[in-house]
Structure 1
Amino acid sequence: MIGFRPKNVRVRESLPDDMRDYLIKCDPWFEYLENYRHAVSHRIPVYIPPATLNEKDAEEYRRIEDEIGKAIRERDFELWGALMAKQRALGTFKPVMMHSYGESARPVTVHGQMICDMATVVEIGENLLKVLPDP
């Protein structure tokens, strides 16, 4: 029952109007945060893909994948290792994460999102300090 999310009605009702209005503007952030928090903390590890592939790289990745299968069937593990290294070199790393491919999940930039989330927490704290009575 304690928190600033929309469902924490008692807390929100106890706040001055300007703080409540500010928190209403933060509702989309709370929704995003709750979606990721529940998924990550309860069931799905965060997935950070090693690379993203453009169409040309994706085609090459599939071609190498076929060669890898052939190398395995022929027990040519030296070729298999070389092909795996070639495949891993494809693409570009982008620091994004997702918790699933369903549930309205969307990729978020890892480092950038962490900074934005921390800034939002600080901003909420600063707004709260404005409405708390002086000690």
Structure 2
Amino acid sequence: MSFNKYGFEEVEYDIYHQQFAAPFLIDGNTANNRYFLHEAQQTHIYGVNNALLELLGDGLTLLSAVSFAKEADHFFRYGVMRRLRMIDSSFKSFQTIVPPNRILPLSQDQSDRACRDLNAIYIDLLGLLDNYAWVAVYQTGSAPTRAAGPMSIGLFKPAFKAEVAFQPLIAAMKEFDDWEKDVKTRRNPAVHRMPLYVPSAALTPEDVSEFERIEAQISRALHAQEFEKLTSLRDSQQRIGTLIPKFLHDPDEPVMDIYPTVPADIGQAIKIGRIMQSFLREQGTQ
């Protein structure tokens, strides 16, 4: 089996780090290093955005180029394509709220939207892989595989891997085995236990004191019915602290870096999508 690896390099963070950060990092110069790391992270985001749009375009072409079985067409059209668009929308929304170089705290509304987008991304990433699996099963799988229960079908599940027709595909997908296990540590708790969360800000002791000082001013303004002061005071209060680009499920569990983790996870799904769509195109034109 041959498959299209176009789009593989532009979703790999290491490529951008080597080009836009590594040559300019200086030991002990935190401000300089932060700037160039942010440049690498932002350029990585652009690469992932472009690769995702390319995959969407390829999917549209595939719908007209391949004679899909009815069920396969259903899962590709309403599963794969919808999820790709949803991931694209959620990621673009997320990156506008939390770009790599942001240091200002998130407002409550921004925090809510960032959390919504982040959870949607991870839920749809695993859903996308399942949709690809069902397209392949209905398009080229054997009758026993098509008859397997819904929970038995997935690109990395035994029933799928046992299908004779998928053996060349399974070999091409082997490099993603570790990533699939890793990404589930971010996705599964969001579905079954606690949603992913982006803390709005990190506060130093001095920040806490300033927050409490302004809170006391807000209370006095309310008591005195000086409502014209409230907007300015609350704006000042919301600017206290520094955004730390991390995300987590549970405050008692380890935190994760937003960048490059989130775009890198989307990038791995894009690479899998390239393999799957190349497989489906090849099978559909034999």
Task: Name the TM-score, length of structure 2 as normaliser.
Answer: 0.34
- 1:118 maps to 266
Maintained 8 Å contact 1:96/1:107: yes
Identity of aligned residues (%): 20
- 1:127 maps to 275
- 1:11 maps to 160
In structure 2, the gaps of 5 or more residues are: 1-151, 223-229
Maintained 8 Å contact 2:200/2:243: yes
The AA in structure 2 aligned to 1:108 is: I
In structure 1, the gaps of 5 or more residues are: none
The AA in structure 2 aligned to 1:9 is: P
Return the offset for 1:63.
1.9
Stretch deviating more after TM superposition (34-43 or 98-107):
98-107
- Write the distance in 2 (CA, Å) between the matches of 1:103 and 1:27: 24
1:2 maps onto 2:146 in alignment: no
- 2:178 maps to 28
Q: CA RMSD in A?
A: 3.6
The AA in structure 2 aligned to 1:120 is: Q
Query: Structure 1, residues 15-48: CA drift from partner, whole Å, max 9, x if none?
Result: 32x6434433212321232222222223323312
The structure richer in helix per residue is 2
Maintained 8 Å contact 1:61/1:87: no
- Write the distance in 1 (CA, Å) between the matches of 2:248 and 2:269: 21
Alignment of 1:43-82 (within 5 A): 43-53=193-203, 58-67=204-213, 76-77=220-221
Maintained 8 Å contact 2:197/2:249: yes
- 2:18 maps to none
Task: Name the TM-score, length of structure 1 as normaliser.
Answer: 0.61
Return the offset for 1:3.
1.0
1:106 maps onto 2:250 in alignment: no
Gap change, CA 1:103 and 1:67, over 3 Å in 2: closer
- 2:243 maps to 93
- 2:102 maps to none
Tell me how many residue pairs correspond in the alignment: 124
Maintained 8 Å contact 1:67/1:83: no
